[in-house]
A = this chain, B = another copy of it.
Amino acid sequence: MRSAVVRGRSRTIDAGPYEVRISAGLRSEFASIIATVAPAHCYAVITDDRVGPLHAGPLMDALASHGRPTLHTMPAGEAHKTRDTWARLTDDLLAAGCGRDTTVVALGGGVVGDLAGFVAATFMRGVPFVQCPTSLLAMIDASVGGKTGVDTQAGKNLVGAFHTPAAVLADVELLATLPVEHRRAGLAEAIKHGVIADAGHFAELSESLPGLLAGDAASTLDAVARSVEIKSSVVRADVREHGLRKTLNFGHTIGHAIEHESGYALLHGECVAIGMVLEARLAERLGIAEEGTAERIERILLRAKLPVARPESLSAEQIVGATRLDKKARSGSAEYALPARIGEMANAESGWSIAVADAAVLEVLA
């Protein structure tokens, strides 16, 4: 990662009750910031078996000057974002002697953040936690907004809690070790932020795409910062997802259904990419989106080498069936957050989402 030029450049975004700090090289300050924003007797660092060996060592060493650090490692991957892993991590903390005076630190991607956040939300009825995202997806999206949770057999994120982090600390240099397909997957959520709220961000992402894919630190820092600004302003306006926050679900009704039905063989961002194209196409058919919206989204995703079509192994019927398991499904019908055009979402008058009949979705999926 070419980061020398951006060393020292940093961005701090006020996400309401907490700050998101983004810079190249921030990891050397992780421990001291954690100890300042969420001082505790015990610092329980939760990571996975991919990220831990790469990045946990220096953090544990640095935390030792501020309290008692304990390390808790889960297997990597969405398939492990379960109640069982949550229970095992909780028991691990208890066995390590962590009490109420504990701060949980999530060091990893979106899965680690969601799980560690749910551990923190429920450990002794709630202890503070700090997010140290190590994937582009987690920096851009998952670590911001206070949603925590796990999947069940019945679907994604069906069990969880809102639990606001004390801080989100993103060091874009940590992305140097991120596999390129994870970098692509992260960009899907950045592109989503452009579609739902900011045509300028969409255009900038399109322009800086080569640099972003190559791991250029300056472009990455800018893209992460703008995405976090968009997401956190949406979340601040509607923490509990009664209205505006639903716009963040663009691409996710179909995306989650594909992710679940594929048995988590596809990355979350890949599923969202497919979901955005199909849902934008659906919006066009329903006369909700400007013509060409889906095509513009498809074009940038293809340039990012992200998938844009339903996997052949899954039938249209299977995917529509799985949308019914979505949290956003009400009274038996699935809800969609749909765009009006790049940079603007539709259906403000009905709380930013509408119920769509299965038949219309099946047509688009066929």
Chain B proximity of A14: nearest CB distance (Å): 24
Smallest beta-carbon distance A214→chain B, Å: 37
Per the 8 Å Cβ criterion, residues 327-346 of A in contact with B are: 327-332
CB-CB under 8 A for A331 and B41, given A122-B122, A125-B149: yes
**Per-residue contact bits, chain A 130-154, to B (CB 8 Å; 1 contact, 0 not):** 0000000000000000011100111
CB neighbors of B among A137-190 (8 A): 147-149, 152-155, 157-162
Q: In the complex, are the beta carbons of B327 and A122 less than 8 A apart?
A: no
A253 vs chain B, min Cβ distance (A): 13
Judging by beta carbons under 8 Å apart, are A330 and B99 in contact?
Answer: yes
Smallest CB separation, A89 vs chain B (Å): 11
The residues of A with any CB-CB pair to B shorter than 8 Å are: 41, 83, 87, 90-91, 94-95, 97, 99-101, 121-126, 147-149, 152-155, 157-162, 240, 325, 327-332
CA distance A152 to B95 in the complex (A): 11
Contact between B124 and A161 (Cβ–Cβ < 8 Å)? no
Would A330 and B41 be within 8 Å (CB), given that A90-B159, A154-B91 are in contact?
yes
A159 to B153, CA, bound (A): 22
Which residues of B are found within 8 Å of A332, using beta-carbon distances? 97
- Taken together as a complex, chains A and B put the C-alpha atoms of A248 and B210 apart, in Å, by 60
Q: How far is the CA of A240 from the CA of B97 in the complex (A)?
A: 22
Does A100 lie within 8 Å of B152, measured CB to CB? no
Q: Which residues of B contact A162 (CB under 8 A)?
A: 125-126
Task: Give this chain's copy count.
Answer: 2
CB-based contact A101/B331 at 8 Å? yes
Task: Please name 5 pairs of A and B residues whose Cβ atoms are closer than 8 Å in the assembled complex, sorted by A.
Answer: A91-B153, A95-B154, A99-B327, A101-B330, A125-B327
Chain A at the B interface: SS class = mixed
Using CB atoms, name the residue of chain B closest to A119.
Answer: B159
* Given A83-B87, A87-B83, A99-B154 contact (CB < 8 Å): no
A41-B330, A83-B83 given; A122·B91 CB < 8 A: no
CB pair B126–A329 under 8 Å, yes or no, is no
Q: How far is the CB of A98 from chain B (nearest CB, A)?
A: 10
- C-alpha spacing A161/B118, complex, angstroms: 10
Q: Are B330 and A94 neighbours in the complex by a CB distance under 8 Å? A: no
Question: What is the minimal beta-carbon distance from A215 to any residue of chain B, in angstroms?
Answer: 34
Set of chain B residues within 8 Å of A152, measured between Cβ atoms = 90-91, 94
Once A87-B83, A101-B330 are accepted as A-B contacts, the answer to whether A122 and B161 lie under 8 Å apart by CB is yes
Do residues B90 and A122 form an inter-chain contact, with CB atoms below 8 A? Answer: no
Q: Within the complex, what minimum Cβ distance (angstroms) separates A254 from chain B? A: 18
Residue of B nearest to A155 (CB): B94
Chain B contacts for A97, CB-based, 8 A: 332
Cα A57 to Cα B9 in complex, Å, equals 65
- Report whether A330 and B100 are in contact in the complex, using a CB–CB cutoff of 8 Å: yes
CB distance A328 to B125 under 8 Å?
A: no
**Extra 11 A-B pairs, beta carbons < 8 Å, given A94-B158, A101-B331, A125-B157:** A41-B331, A90-B158, A91-B152, A91-B153, A99-B329, A99-B331, A122-B122, A124-B159, A125-B148, A125-B161, A125-B162
Closest to A90 in B: B159
Query: What separation, in Å, do the CA atoms of A325 and B94 have in the docked complex?
Result: 9
Q: Is the beta-carbon distance between B125 and A147 smaller than 8 angstroms?
A: yes
List 8 A-B pairs, minimum CB-CB distance, nearest first.
A94-B154, A125-B160, A124-B327, A100-B327, A122-B159, A101-B330, A83-B87, A99-B329
